[in-house]
Amino acid sequence: MRICFVMRAALRACAVMLALAALTPLARAADPIKFGFSMALTGAVAPNGKMLLPALEIWRDDVNAKGGLLGRPVELVYYDDQSNPSNVPGIYTKLLTVDKVDLVLGPYATNMIAAAMPVLMSNNKLTVGMLGVNINRQFDYPRYFSMITGGNEGTLAFSRGWFELAAAQNPKPKTVAIVAADAEFGRTTCDGTRDNAKAGGFQIVYDKSYPPSTTDYAPILRAVQATDPDLIYVCAYPPDTVGFVRAANEIDLKAKMFGGAMVGLFATPIKMQLGPLLNGIVFMESFAPPPTINFPGLSELLAKYQAKAPELKIDPLGYEYVPFGYAVGQVLAQAIEATKSLDDGKLADYMHANVFPTVAGEIRFGKDGEWVKSRQFFSQFQRVSGNDIDQFRTTEKQVILWPPEYKTGTMIYPYDKTKSQ
């Protein structure tokens, strides 16, 4: 009798163990897929980073509402890099070794992406950098992909349209001054500016960089104006952008065209702050306001973002950055579902070989991870009055000049003329 009792107890124990074993794969399958990244939430480029984070969170929520990826929920693990490249390697090391994230993405901005690359490469990790300028030209890493509109033209894309607009004027301007922040973004972007200027037959009469710690920009523009250039092209981050626009007004800057890659002009609060001081500036932008651009799902995304923005006290419109943040998630999700895998190598191979429909448009990546086709815009502020937000919701006062297929108005030329219109 005792033997039978022991046998029955042993069988029950085995049954329990088998049941637990059967449940274990299900429990593991329900574990979240962790996406890790750093984001500029404080510091110089935080106004832009604060747009990208909600975009990724909206993507996460949308994916999870549909059952997640591979039957697993999506989780975002992120840290503030404070817009400081020196913080980035440590963050990505922690994400991989302590947080044990499944995949990484980002970070945002040229300076930070370049700082992350050695860590990602040493760990053979795939990433999609957010709005970094021609990062892979120095790394040639097959698992790097870029979410920026420069495409196959590389750094040339960020000024080619600007110089084409200049060359179309009659009489054609002859000279150009180039001013760049002495940081990865400024140096890289203005490399292409020099090449486009020379290719267009423009004489470079001023070509200098300034330290990122600069706070007074009037002396720089006075030095520029002393060379009497027809054109002034500036490569600047948000705080610098504000400083240059205010300084141009302060010294009554004389030039036929003024602007360039002044990424602070992507942020709606900066536009509202500067108001009429923006008039006449011709600048590079990555995304234009709807309905000029309205890819499937874009309107719904912007509506969700704009509903969150007041509470979060972030950019109220989000046109320039939100579509790209969400599109990063869309690309990775499509690759994961197609390959049924989280393997970085398999995902990279798939991303090189396929086209991805996203809220930022249809994207195909080239060998270097950049978009196969460039889609860069150049716009001009015209007749901006006051500081209200509504004038920046459409292209009526932020007029698209180039490329021709997206053109919504004609350039006011020269720059000085805009002050009287």
Residues sharing a CB contact under 8 Å with residue 152, sequence separation 6 or more, in sequence order: 366, 370, 371, 372, 373, 374
Q: Would the CATH topology of 33-149+293-364 be identical to that of 155-285+382-420?
A: yes
Residue-level pLDDT at 13: 45
Using a pLDDT cut of 90, give the percent of the chain over it.
81
| Residue 184 confidence class, pLDDT cut points 50, 70, 90 | confident
Pick the CATH number of 33-149+293-364 from 3.40.462.10, 3.40.50.2300, 3.40.50.300, 3.40.50.970: 3.40.50.2300
- The closest of 345, 387, 404, 341 to 165, measured between CA atoms, is 404
Bridging pattern class, strands 33-39 and 127-130:
unpaired
pLDDT per residue as tens digits for the range 387-408? 999 999 999 999 999 999 999 9
Pick the CATH number of 155-285+382-420 from 1.10.1510.10, 3.40.50.2300, 3.30.365.10, 3.40.640.10: 3.40.50.2300
- In this model, does residue 11 exceed pLDDT 80? no
Using a pLDDT cut of 70, give the percent of the chain over it.
92
Using CA atoms, how far apart are residues 49 and 40, in angstroms rounded to an integer?
A: 5
Using CA atoms, how far apart are residues 88 and 105, in angstroms rounded to an integer?
A: 12
- In this model, does residue 131 exceed pLDDT 80? yes
The average pLDDT across 326-344 equals: 98
Residue-level pLDDT at 292: 81
Residue-level pLDDT at 421: 56
Residue-level pLDDT at 419: 65
Residue identified by tokens 């984001």 is 39
The average pLDDT across 7-25 equals: 45
- In this model, does residue 14 exceed pLDDT 80? no
Helix H, strand E, coil C: the string for the chain is CHHHHHHHHHHHHHHHHHHHHHHHHHHHHCCCEEEEEEECCCCCCHHHHHHHHHHHHHHHHHHHHCCCECCECEEEEEEECCCCHHHHHHHHHHHHHCCCCCEECCCECHHHHHHHHHHHHHCCCCEEEECCCCHHHCCCCCCEEEECCCHHHHHHHHCHHHHHHHHCCCCCCCEEEEEEECCHHHHHHHHHHHHHHHHCCCEEEEEEEECCCCCCCHHHHHHHHHCCCCEEEEEECHHHHHHHHHHHHHCCCCCCEEEEEEHHHHCHHHHHHHHHHHCCCEEEECCCCCCCCCCCCHHHHHHHHHHHHHHHCCCCCCCCCHHHHHHHHHHHHHHHHHHCCCCHHHHHHHHHHCEEEECCEEEEECCCCCECCCCCEEEEECCCCCCCCHHHCCCCCEEEEECHHHCCCCCCCCHHHHHHC
| Residue ranges covered by each domain of the chain | 33-149+293-364, 155-285+382-420
Residue identified by tokens 């698209």 is 400
The average pLDDT across 137-142 equals: 93
The average pLDDT across 179-197 equals: 92
- In this model, does residue 150 exceed pLDDT 90? no
Residue-level pLDDT at 24: 43
Residue-level pLDDT at 16: 41
The average pLDDT across 203-231 equals: 97
Residues sharing a CB contact under 8 Å with residue 373, sequence separation 6 or more, in sequence order: 151, 152, 364
| Residue 25 confidence class, pLDDT cut points 50, 70, 90 | very low
Residue-level pLDDT at 134: 85
- In this model, does residue 127 exceed pLDDT 50? yes
- In this model, does residue 317 exceed pLDDT 90? yes
pLDDT per residue as tens digits for the range 221-271? 999 999 999 999 999 988 999 999 999 999 999 999 999 999 889 999 999
φ and ψ at 248, to 5 degrees? -60, -40
Residue-level pLDDT at 211: 95
Residue-level pLDDT at 133: 85
Instruction: For the chain, give the mean pLDDT.
Output: 91
